[in-house]
């Protein structure tokens, strides 16, 4: 991303979204804390674990889609049509 000619706002957005994908290990830690108290099946369906899973995986996929759109199709590049 650093060497691409993406718009700066799109570089920032893609970086933040891909970085939010790093929340996924937090999901496993939260489940580790919840399982002894509420059980395995209930911990998987708990609102906190579901929210972390959706946020981390969704943002990672969206960030990679933005990056892939730039690399393969040039959707978000700075165009200087002089």
Asked whether residue 63 carries a pLDDT value surpassing 80, the answer given is yes
pLDDT, tens digit, 9 for 90 and up, residues 7-25: 778 888 888 999 999 988 9
The three-class DSSP label of residue 26 is helix
Round to whole Å and give the CA distance between 20 and 54: 11
Instruction: Give the pLDDT of residue 72.
Output: 79
Provide the mean pLDDT of the chain: 83
Cβ-contact 40, 33 below 8 angstroms: no
């Amino acid at each position: 991303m650093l060497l691409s000619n993406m718009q700066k706002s799109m570089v920032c957005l893609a970086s933040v979204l891909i970085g939010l994908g790093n929340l996924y290990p937090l999901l496993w830690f939260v489940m580790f804390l919840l399982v002894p108290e509420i059980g395995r099946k209930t911990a998987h369906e708990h609102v906190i674990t579901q929210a972390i899973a959706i946020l981390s995986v969704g943002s990672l996929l969206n960030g990679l889609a933005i990056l892939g759109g730039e690399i393969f199709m040039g959707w978000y590049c700075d165009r200087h049509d002089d």
